[in-house]
Amino acid sequence: MKKTAVLLFTVLMMLAGFVRADSAPGQWVEGEHYFRVPAPQPVDTGDKIEIRELFWYGCPHCARLQPEIDRWLANGLPDNAEFVLMPAILRKSWAPHARIFYAFRDAGLVDKVHAKFFTAIHDQKKAFPDAGSIAEFVAENGGSGSDFLKAYRSFSVDSEVRRAGELSRAYGVTGVPAVIIDGKYRTSVLSGESYEQLFDRIGFLVKKAAAERSGQKQQ
């Protein structure tokens, strides 16, 4: 009986060790916690490691992540990293929201209205049937509705929307939110994990990408 109890205790301790090792921060496994992009894509951040969040304004998970992202960014990124927002286009019906974001960006409105637009859609249940209604929303939140409309109808926004669709496919993204590190690694919030674990994993991937860049320069 004693031997059985000792054996059972040993097995339980071993299992506990496996659980701790599996859930320990920083123990990120390719193919489980993050994935390689099918074909690495160029970045828009030059010498800095690009952290690109893909989102859709209609996504409730993206809406919940947004304030967490803001808090995380407020703590400061490493000097060698830069954060970029990109609206994903996984369906044709997502393209209008991509146009809205790029119009916000080109009109210099992202800081004023990006987070508030999530809130308006998901918390306040507001509907925006046309560009004019969004221009009114912009004006109500301290921006220029006319600047928004000018950007919304611009050729540059047309181009950005097309590129967002192309990159969404190239990254192999099947859902949002998703985060692409340096154009080559893809991750997201995994089932049952905290936002802190996501941010820890992003930090790990930034270091990994930086080390790979450094290795390439030395070759």
pLDDT for res 143: 98
Residue 8 lies in a domain: no
Position 185 scores a pLDDT of 99
> If residue 179 lies in a helix (H) or strand (E), which one and from where to where?
strand 178-181
The DSSP bridge partners found for residue 82 are 50
Q: Return the pLDDT at 124.
A: 98
- Give the pLDDT of residue 215: 86
Q: What percent of the chain has pLDDT over 90?
A: 85
Q: What are the residue ranges in the chain where pLDDT is below 50? A: 2, 4-23, 25, 218-219
Contacts of 210 (CB under 8 A, 6+ apart): 49, 80
CB 163 within 8 A of CB 102: no
- The domain that holds 148 is classified in CATH as 3.40.30.10
pTM for this predicted structure: 0.86
The first and second tokens of residue 126, run together, are: 């507001």
Distance CA 201, CA 211 (A): 15
Cα(105)–Cα(111) distance, rounded to whole angstroms? 9
User: Is residue 6 situated within a structural domain?
Assistant: no
- 14-68 pLDDT, tens digit each: 444 333 334 454 589 999 999 999 999 999 999 999 999 999 999 999 999 999 9
Strands (E), 8-90: 35-36, 49-55, 81-87
User: What's the number of domains the chain is made of?
Assistant: 1
- For residue 114, being part of any structural domain is answered with yes
User: Which residues constitute the domain of residue 117?
Assistant: 32-218
Task: Tell how many helices (H) and how many strands (E) occur in the chain.
Answer: 8, 5
Helix (H/G/I), strand (E/B), else coil: 187? strand
Asked whether residue 9 is domain-assigned, the answer is no
Give the pLDDT of residue 26.
52
Report yes or no on 153 lying in a domain.
yes
How distant is the alpha carbon of residue 168 from its chain centre?
A: 12
pLDDT value of position 12:
41
